[in-house]
Amino acid sequence: MKKSVKKVVLAYSGGLDTSVILKWLQDEYQCEVVTFTADIGQGEEVEPARKKAISLGIKPENVFIENLEEEFVRDFVFPMFRANAIYEGEYLLGTSIARPLIAKRQAEIAKLVGADGVSHGATGKGNDQVRFEMGYLGIDSNLIIIAPWREWDLNSREKLLKYAEEHGIEIDKKGKKSPYSMDANLLHISYEGGILEDPWAEPEDDMWRWTVSPENAPDEAEYIEITYKNGDPIAIGDKKLSPAEILRELNRLGGKHGIGRTDIVENRFVGMKSRGAYETPGGTILLKSHRAIESICLDREEAHLKDELMPRYAKLIYNGFWFSPEREMLQSAIDKTQENVEGVVRLKLYKGNISVVGRKSEKSLFNSDYSTFEEDEVYNQKDAEGFIKLNALRFIIEGKARRK
């Protein structure tokens, strides 16, 4: 049974899928459509989406285009990197972390314009449908959610193009279309489909958009310094930058040196495995540098407990639970650990590799008086004997029992 809805806010890019969805919503639901286009650093012009939406009958006052780059990095990417979050050992969650922000703002716009519904272009096979809809429901559970890919039979590019032609939807056919399904934001760009559906096939080198191949990267290493405060980067070299500016500059540096390419087969929340390739140059640098500054600022047990919590935290983000109380609880614990994480990390970038070559902090717990291999006056090495015996006491008792 079709839902009854009067006004719908659509997450709109202006591309083939969402342009077809816009027209389909108008025809199938006979509803007023409001478009929302978020600029989160995808590297493409977003203003053409305004012209496209208006050409499809959307009132100018119902076209929302907003630059959310700073909010994206400050309130979503940086909190995630405080946790050193990485899914299944390799994925830096570039797409996963963008969806809660889009869903949040989409739901806010729905309230602003008095809409009773929201819609997205995620398919019924992927994770994004979960991420979007968990976000909507977390903000306003009264919103009616329309997911066209779970309703229509336009399940191929050919069918979408035919629908567009039949309904007068203008589609830009200039240039060669990429064989991959791509998603980009300021943190990463992802590639799926095409030859990547064969996990044995190597991606063509011309697929990559942001990074040079390590073989073609400069033959000379480049040194950079990143300054941290409360677990977040605040400067590169001697230049203080905003969150988005920092990530953009690290993307440039990482891309120049062939850093941040990954090729992964991951386990989707819906149950199937998916092969994807990702470019996350700035994020890869941030993960390495953040762990480096933590290594001198965090207590051992604090750091180890953080590492134990991280996979659960990463899984929550991957599966769309950003607005859950358990993620917020973990975030509070993580943020508490970051109060004294400050200082400078020096990194060496060279042909796809990142080497930590220095770290310093006024709040460092590294004390050379204790750790030196030279003579010292603060540590009695004889104390280690009792420490070892106490830790081995249960082995000693068990060994005696077994020998009886």
Q: Which CATH number fits domain 7-77+94-166: 3.40.640.10, 3.40.228.10, 3.40.190.10, 3.40.50.620?
A: 3.40.50.620
Among candidate residues 74, 181, 291, 364, the one labeled active-site is: 181
Task: Determine the straight-line distance between the first and last CA of the chain, rounded to whole angstroms.
Answer: 75
254 and 192 Cβ atoms separated by less than 8 Å: no
Residue-level pLDDT at 369: 81
Active site residue 190: no
What parts of the chain have a pLDDT lower than 50?
Answer: 175
Among candidate residues 13, 82, 105, 128, the one labeled active-site is: 128
Beta bridge partners of 182: 191
Residue-level pLDDT at 143: 97
Among candidate residues 19, 39, 82, 99, the one labeled active-site is: 99
- In 69-171, which ranges are E strands? 117-119, 144-146
Residue-level pLDDT at 180: 86
Which two tokens mark 386? 């009792």
Residue 389 buriedness (CB in 10 A; 0-12 / 13-18 / 19+): exposed
Whether domain 181-360 has CATH 3.90.1260.10: the reply is yes
Residue boundaries of the structural domains of the chain: 7-77+94-166, 181-360, 370-397
Active site residue 99: yes
Among candidate residues 17, 39, 183, 232, the one labeled active-site is: 17
Phi-psi region of 329 (alpha: psi -120 to 50; beta: other; left: phi over 0): alpha
- In 220-340, which ranges are E strands? 222-229, 232-236, 239-240, 261-267, 273-279
Per-residue 3-state assignment (H helix, E strand, C coil) for 299-313: CHHHHHHHHHHHHHH
Active site residue 295: no
C-alpha angle 358-84-342 in degrees, rounded to nearest 5: 45
Active site residue 181: yes
